[in-house]
Amino acid sequence: MPNVRNGLAGRDLLDLGAMDLAEMEEALQHRGHPRFHARQIYSWIHSKGVTDFERMTDLSRALRADLPGQFRISTPKVVQRETSTDGTTKFLLELEDGRRIESVFIPDTPAQTFCVSTQVGCAMKCGFCLTGKMGLLRNLDAGEIAGQVRVLAGALDLRDSRFNIVLMGMGEPLHNYDNTMKALRILNDTHGLAVSPKRVTLSTVGVLPALERLATEPLMPNLAISLHATTEDQREALVPVNRKYGLKEILDAARKFPLKRRSRITFEYVLLNGVNDTPEDAKRLVGLLGKIRCKVNLIPLNEAAGIAFERPADARVNRFAEILAKGGATVSVRKSRGRDIRAACGQLIVEGNQKSPAQRAAGLL
């Protein structure tokens, strides 16, 4: 089999890892192979985690010999693995082009949870998030997004277990809409890992056109909207995309978002000491959420070098939560996981990734 990680010839081969089942069937048929083999190959890749064609033993010898010259299966490579004192595990993964991303496994939450990335870096530049310091280097393709799940499932021996997925790693999922939704379809397919959309949560700061498009999807994940503020000025200072898609517009879209019975939108709110954690902020938040069927997930800031904010004291966090609860909101306070290995919310950053001259010239700072 050719070296597909470093050889240009290998990189030119079609990537089966980035195809959904229908695309794989078409690709095989176009090259003279029966379509039904796609279901077999799909299962080997996504359900069994096998990417060596020679090990796909229910394929004929002739087909196994032909496939390496026609296709490749890209798979993120684990280059580093760190485990926190609380059991959280952070994976540093390298992609085919040498770019690196981080994914996180969070045990006992109460289910097993994989936190995966959708971009290398992020363009949203939220003031309290280290990933935003990287800027956006590039989008991940669908195979790279789904590939994180199968790599983590294999590394943790969880391929035959139930687990949840949160799209809360590096990047803004709705800024990479097509690849993100295709990855969810790949993961949902019954010939692969068969991950139900009920076990997937997509977190967004509110890229409005994509949020409205998400509302029409037949395969719809749980939705978490990162709010973080209760006034337009406050949110613009913390979440710059608010200048384009304002707080009022995001909340209006949330009110119209279709929810199945017993489903709710989660509003995430990072608490910053003395900035957005006052009793007045809490009361405004109760008023803003109004009749939206939702719950509020409070996230005390995970402090890190380079972030110009402080984590509020527990007493301030508890007071904020109490005001929300008394106002009728369903509220929880997220327990920080993996802070000692910089794996907690807002702490993912790969500092070795460098922008190309073209990216710098395009103003991706």
**Residues belonging to the active site:** 102, 345
Q: List CB contacts of 213: < 8 A, sequence separation 6 or more.
A: 177
Q: How far does CA 9 lie from the centroid of its chain?
A: 30
Cis peptide before 279 (omega within 30 of 0): no
Q: List CB contacts of 196: < 8 A, sequence separation 6 or more.
A: 188
Q: List CB contacts of 193: < 8 A, sequence separation 6 or more.
A: 46, 47, 149, 150, 153, 159, 187
* 3-state SS, one letter per residue, for the chain: CCCCCCCHHHHCCEEHHHCCHHHHHHHHHHCCCCCCHHHHHHHHHHHCCCCCHHHCCCCCHHHHHHHHHCEECCCCEEEEEEECCCCCEEEEEECCCCCEEEEEEECCCCCEEEECCCEEECCCCCCCCCHHHHCEEEECCHHHHHHHHHHHHHHCCCCCCCEEEEECCCCCHHHHHHHHHHHHHHHHCCCCCCCCHHHEEEEECCCHHHHHHHCCCCCCCEEEEECCCCCHHHHHHHCHHHHCCCHHHHHHHHHHCCCCCCCCEEEEEEECCCCCCCHHHHHHHHHHHCCCCEEEEEEECCCCCCCCCCCCCHHHHHHHHHHHHHCCCCEEECCCCCHHHCCCCCCCCCCCCCCCHHHHHCCCC
Distance in angstroms (rounded) separating the CA atoms of residues 269 and 345: 11
